[in-house]
A and B are shown apart, each in its own frame.
Chain A
């Protein structure tokens, strides 16, 4: 019964979430662009960049929730897909610098000139066209996820084992991208971007557009995931999560379902990374750090796994907390984050979103105690 109620609650939220996201970002962008800097309601530029960052994280969390919350694959390597998409965008932005780099080389990015490279490596070809770069933002993470998933799911690597090898995957990529001779800028990564699609990245208007683009992408993917999880396909995914063997015995090709969702989720993460890079202005191998991927998992856990709005709320809440904490009490941030991990897993298995129904149930109980006649609910909804 609670589950039904939860369903109703979610269905109402379905259109509300994109509306809130789009409306909110439009309002913020307008306050930033239209008001003079000294107006009381003016939103400073850094808030725009910060919000854009949060929305990209939210999209990453959404992609992670799709595999963890709905198919039960806990990926500890989603940061790798995010970073790969980011690198694809970074490569495009590097090529847009052209002769404005420190060394003024029209073809080679600065770090290649610095390393005495004579010509562009083959895998950088075509990145001066946005269409090619866009394709690669989806293709690079998607292809990696496809190959990896194909191998892993076919040989039925599941549960914790899968989590650990996804972690090894992002760790190996971290090491690889740290190398200078990989041709991705090594330790320093790619930075010093000038413009995207001909628009100066320093301009307030460009930043606002990027924020709106992030909001639009997030909303679009949210609606798409909503459709997907409510379809027959989505029901099979949940079946795979809850009883994999049973789903297999019923004749579903569990591996294929997993592979499709895993690859799709990687593409989502890649696009999130691609939008993240122009807004923060840098991509470096640190994004591959396994700790980042695990942090993304905690956003999902805080928000509530297995719901689509949960990861969005979780990512924004935790990152907002991180911004506040690292500004005021940088020492305490890791204590807070560590504590959050433990607290959420022990006391809030359904996350923030899960608090709502249990709050309603508590309320109903109280009313009942006060003498109201209400239909009874079990306080805990079983999965």
Chain B
């Protein structure tokens, strides 16, 4: 609110520089200004109302200064605005005061009652502003704090208003005021309820609740009916919102799990260090952003685009190194692989902790990833939306790599029948390394996305590893489509259960259901068929 007032004040100050007010009003303004030169709060309050009634363009700046405690007066009733840098402006004209500061300057006293008067006066002044944005803001303000005493100015503004959006807002403000007014007729109140019901949000609900509790038979009835209707629509929107959150969580899970679907699903290697590959991707993003901040700030909006391939290379490189040095010797011994890679994950975590410190690091959002937009009753944040898009792009690209490239062909050949593939001249050991590198690299890419919505700390990966395994096992090993369906189903199930059962309990319920599911179908939603399964 204060910010808004200040912005308005600044705007008005600039307007005043050019225009001089008409002399007829000027007298009334001078009279009201004289009222500020008082120690009585009642006088000051009266002066505020009087000043607002003049509608003078200088009034906003003066009132804003008053609310901030920057209005001062001298013994001879001259009133000045103190700027934040200490210079003085004559309140009447808004022009800087030449020469020395006048003797005996005292600040005009403000208490909460005066501040409320200032707020009301501001609302009244801005309703007649020429700037539509200001008018809209003040109509909204009037709606949120409906004061039946303000009904007349609102109705006057409504008659003059041509902008449909502002007009609706004003009508709703008027309706709220009528409901709050004790002596309004039942017919008026029912009409007002209809208008508020059409608005249909939480604010409208609170006014309607008040009406339902206080009003007489017909009014209460209408209010209750309107409330029920709003509740239904709100429930629908909140279900849609949960679904969107679920989709967003699902795509995060998809990103985290899809690399695992390659290393675990396709190669059969249990990589407990997979989460740390995600973490390395997030730290790569951090390093890229730091470099950009220091050397080329204008590139900041592109930082994620630069970080994505780098994260792929870093995580993929580390993954290939791990495969060459450790995992290669443990093929066919899945439990040992699990232990060794868990050791590697501890090692990587501690390494990152030693280099970057144990605290959360600040990774910035580029401008196109911050903010949100409204779609009906939904609030969609840009970063979540981009992550959904990103997850699907990564999925598609990976699918293409596996289906359409020769590397993908070789990978599938090695998974299905290693010895036959070797006999056909495929360098199976090298394909293993590349496959592992691909899975790890995709994890690194997931880290870039996760750095935008989660804390970048050495424990980042740990929090996703169990969920990722669940997704892969749920979806069915060796099947990327299964991973997609599994991730989205788990994400949506989590978020839909959350409002019913609470965040933690919802997660527990999902985990227990998953464990039970695996008992029923040990090979997941989309089990692999054929001879390769048993080996």
Whether B346 and A175, one on each chain, are in contact in the complex, defined by CB atoms closer than 8 angstroms, is no
Q: Is the CB of B339 within 8 A of A338?
A: no
Q: Are A178 and B520 in contact (CB under 8 A)?
A: no
Q: Is A298 an interface residue (CB 8 A)?
A: yes
Chain A residues with Cβ below 8 Å from B473 are: 161, 164-165
Chain B contacts for A291, CB-based, 8 A: 462
Instruction: Give the residues in chain B near A339, CB-CB below 8 Å.
Output: 343, 347
Across the interface, A157 reaches (CB within 8 A) one of B338, B470, B511, B518, namely: B518
Q: Chain B residues with Cβ under 8 A from A175's Cβ?
A: 504, 507-508, 511
Tell me if B440 counts as interface (CB < 8 A to partner A).
no
Q: Is the CB of B340 within 8 A of A345?
A: yes
Q: Tell me if A's interface is mostly helix, strand, loop or mixed.
A: helix
Partner pick for B338 among A74, A156, A340, A346, CB 8 A cutoff: A74
Stretch at the interface among B118-126, B327-335, B400-408: B327-335
B243 within 8 A of A: no
B225 nearest CB across to chain A (Å): 37
A341 contacts partner chain B, Cβ-Cβ < 8 Å? yes
Q: A213-239 toward B: CB 8 Å interface, digit per residue (1/0)?
A: 000000000000000000000000000
Residues of chain A within 8 A (CB-CB) of B469 are 164, 167-168
In the complex, the answer to whether B519 meets A155 with C-beta atoms within 8 Å is yes
Q: Which B503-518 residues have C-beta < 8 A from chain A?
A: 504-505, 507-508, 511-512, 514-516, 518
B349 within 8 Å of A (CB atoms): yes
Are B344 and A161 closer than 8 Å at their CB atoms?
no
* Residues of B close to A290: CB separation below 8 A: 466
If A175-B508, A179-B504 touch, whether A349 touches B346 (CB-CB below 8 Å) is no
Q: If A160-B334, A346-B330 touch, does A151 touch B340 (CB 8 Å cutoff)?
A: no
Q: Give the 4 A-B residue pairs with the shortest CB-CB distance, closest first.
A: A341-B343, A338-B347, A338-B346, A334-B350
- Residue A169 interfacial (CB < 8 Å): yes
B519 touches A152 (CB 8 A): yes
Residue pairs across A and B with Cβ atoms less than 8 A apart, 7 shown, are A152-B519, A160-B335, A175-B508, A176-B505, A301-B339, A331-B350, A335-B347
Residue of A nearest to B520 (CB): A155
Q: How far is the CB of B247 from chain A (nearest CB, A)?
A: 23
A160-B270, A179-B505 given; A349·B336 CB < 8 A:
yes
Indicate which residue in B337, B340, B466, B520 contacts A168 across the interface (CB closer than 8 Å).
B466
Interface code B508-535, partner A: CB below 8 Å = 1, 0 otherwise? Answer: 1001101110111010000000000000
**Residues 29-66 (chain A) with a chain B CB within 8 angstroms:** none
Contact yes or no, B336 A168, CB < 8 A: no
* Contact of A163 with B by CB under 8 A: yes
Whether, in the assembled complex, A196 has its beta carbon less than 8 Å from a beta carbon of chain B, the answer is no
- Asked if B343 contacts A178 (CB within 8 A), the reply is no
Partner of A159, one of B335, B339, B349, B516: B335
Pick the most buried of B336, B353, B519: most chain A CB atoms within 10 A of its CB: B519
Decide yes or no whether A342 CB sits under 8 A from chain B. yes
Check: B162 CB closer than 8 A to any chain A CB: no
Q: Which residues of B contact A157 (CB under 8 A)?
A: 518-519, 522
Find out whether the CB atom of B330 lies under 8 angstroms from the CB atom of A345: yes
Q: What separation, in Å, do the CA atoms of A335 and B349 have in the docked complex?
A: 9
Tell me if A337 and B346 are in contact (CB < 8 A): yes
- Asked if B345 is an interface residue, CB under 8 A from chain A, the answer is yes
Given A179-B504, A342-B340, list of 17 further CB < 8 A pairs? A151-B515, A151-B516, A160-B270, A165-B473, A171-B466, A176-B508, A290-B466, A301-B339, A331-B350, A335-B346, A338-B344, A338-B345, A341-B343, A341-B346, A345-B330, A345-B337, A345-B340
Is the CB of B187 closer than 8 A to any CB of chain A? no
CA distance A164 to B344 in the complex (A): 18
Is B326 interfacial (CB 8 A cutoff)? Answer: yes
B515 A168 Cβ-Cβ under 8 A: yes
Q: Does A20 contact B (CB under 8 A)?
A: no
In the complex, whether B216 has a CB less than 8 A from a CB of chain A is no
**Which A331-366 residues have C-beta < 8 A from chain B?**
331, 334-335, 337-342, 344-346, 349
Nearest CB on B from A363, distance (A): 27
State the Cβ distance, A326 to closest chain B Cβ, in Å. Answer: 12
Q: What's the minimum C-beta distance from B67 to chain A, rounded to whole angstroms?
A: 42
Q: A175-B508, A331-B350, A334-B350 are in contact. Are A163 and B335 (CB under 8 A)?
A: yes
Q: How far is the CA of A344 from the CA of B335 in the complex (A)?
A: 13
With the chains together, A178 CA to B504 CA distance in Å? 9
Is there contact, CB below 8 Å, between B338 and A163?
A: yes
**In the complex with contacts A338-B343, A339-B343, A331-B354 CB distance below 8 A:** yes
A80 within 8 A of B: no
Given the complex, which residues of A lie within 8 Å of B354, measured CB to CB? 331
